[in-house]
Amino acid sequence: MNNDSDNNNSSERIVITRRNQLELMPWRMPAPGAGEIRVRVAYSGVSFGDVMLRRHVFRQRPAVAVPGYEVVGTIDAIGPGVGDLKQGDRVAAFIEYGGNARHALVRARDAVVLPAGVDEAEAAAVVLNYASALGMIEAAGLAAGDDFLIHGATGGVGSAMLDVARSYGLAALGTTRGNTRTDLFGARLFDTRSPSLVDDVRAASSGGVRAVFDSRAGRGLWRSRAMVAPGGALIVFGLSSAATPGWAGRLATASSLLALGLFNVLPGKRSEIFAMDKTYRRTPARVQVWVARAIAMLAGGKIAPIVGATLRLEQAAEAHRLLESGQVVGKVLLDCR
């Protein structure tokens, strides 16, 4: 099928079927409405949020569920009231659904115009992950000179946090599982399976870090909280352990929420959940600011996103398997052209 829109406005997109499978399906695109643009997508990403959407964890799925939080591409149609945007502009945007497609409808207020020379694949790697990193640094109240630890440091958000830390003057630590590298973006990495992990982190941070960012949660939250210095913060994001099939995932979710509830009545350390999709629903302008800041950092050479793998749009299922394997360093992208 021709990737460009034709007279019938025919295109293709990835749809989650009733059996929780990913299937490339034809799509008859609507014209953009007031305040909307239609983007011919070059790249979109794959995240654990998409995995949880596929498995029907947490999020209410629309009747036609199309994963993909981010789009980067070229505007090919505009609706009324879109401001200065015009056809042919290259844009990036965070969206809640619909990124894994040849074309996507985007609210104009969410779009960020890409500066000349910015690589579209690298831009796609920063929309969700680096905007999340900026939001989480803000949520933790970190300032230059502070230190933090992030679990899953070689993943999309983890590597973004370590990269952004350099620009913000933060001292970064991270954990990995089954990875032999000991540093990334100058950050020191620890094996999350080590029985002495808490002591090792405390020793490396003079008694505890200002913030721990935990994407898996479950029973490991107690260990994460033990690494936080008095007055610091534990920020839970992603809850990827909830994507585990069956009772294991449900148990991990329940134990996470129970632990967080208890943490919030214990003195000395703050705990909260950070979720980009919920932030977007409440205050979309806030997310757009983070995306714009991340794109500006990319254009200015202040960050260097890692694209760990790029697959074709029709390989979305394989991209999910690759992401879930935990063997990819950086962002997994889909080439939607």
Residue 321: its pLDDT value, please? Answer: 95
Number of residues written out for the chain: 337
Cβ proximity of 40 and 102 under 8 Å: yes
Span 52-90, pLDDT tens digits: 899 887 667 888 999 999 999 999 999 999 999 999 999
> What is the structure's pLDDT at 263?
79
253: pLDDT strictly greater than 80: no
State what percent of residues in the chain have pLDDT above 70: 90
Q: For tokens 């992401």, name the residue.
A: 323
**What is the band of 187 on the pLDDT scale with cuts at 50, 70, 90?**
very high
Architecture of domain 134-274: 3-Layer(aba) Sandwich (3.40)
Half-sphere exposure of 3 (CA within 13 A, CB side): 15
In the chain, CATH 3.40.50.720 covers 134-274
Q: Are 132 and 237 in contact (CB under 8 A)?
A: yes
pLDDT at res. 240: 60
145, two tokens: 């000179």
pLDDT band at 267 (very low <50, low <70, confident <90, very high): confident
Compute the average pLDDT of residues 169-198. Answer: 89
Q: How many CA atoms lie within 13 A of 285 on its CB side?
A: 0
Q: What homologous superfamily is domain 10-127+283-335 in, according to CATH? A: Medium-chain alcohol dehydrogenases, catalytic domain (3.90.180.10)
User: Any idea what DSSP says for residue 109?
Assistant: G
- What is the per-residue pLDDT across 203-246, written as a single tens digit (0 to 9) for each? 999 899 999 999 877 678 889 999 999 999 999 997 765 556 66
Is the pLDDT reported for residue 109 higher than 90?
yes
What pLDDT, on the 0 to 100 scale, is given for residue 1?
Answer: 37
Q: Can you read off the two tokens belonging to residue 253?
A: 């979710």
Q: What is the pLDDT of residue 8?
A: 62
Tokens of 236: 């839970």
Mean pLDDT rounded to a whole number for the chain = 90
The 10s digit of each residue's pLDDT in 283-299 is 999 999 999 999 999 99
Which residues does residue 333 pair with via DSSP β-bridges, in sequence order?
45, 310
Which runs of consecutive H residues, i.e. helices, occur in 193-283?
Answer: 197-204, 220-227, 247-263, 276-282
> What is the spatial distance between Cα 77 and Cα 282, in angstroms, rounded to a whole number?
27
Instruction: Evaluate if residue 159 carries a pLDDT over 50.
Output: yes
Q: Which of 272, 221, 219, 273 is nearest to 248 (CA)?
A: 219
Is 146 or 19 the better-scoring residue by pLDDT?
146
Q: Where are the alpha helices (DSSP H) in the chain?
A: 48-54, 120-127, 129-140, 156-168, 197-204, 220-227, 247-263, 276-282, 284-299, 316-325
**Is pLDDT of 20 > 70?**
yes
**Contacts (Cβ under 8 Å, ≥6 apart) of 254:** none
Return residue ranges of the chain for CATH 3.90.180.10: 10-127+283-335
pTM of the model: 0.91
- Calpha distance 234→268 (Å, rounded): 11
Residues 317-328: tens digit of each pLDDT: 999 999 998 889
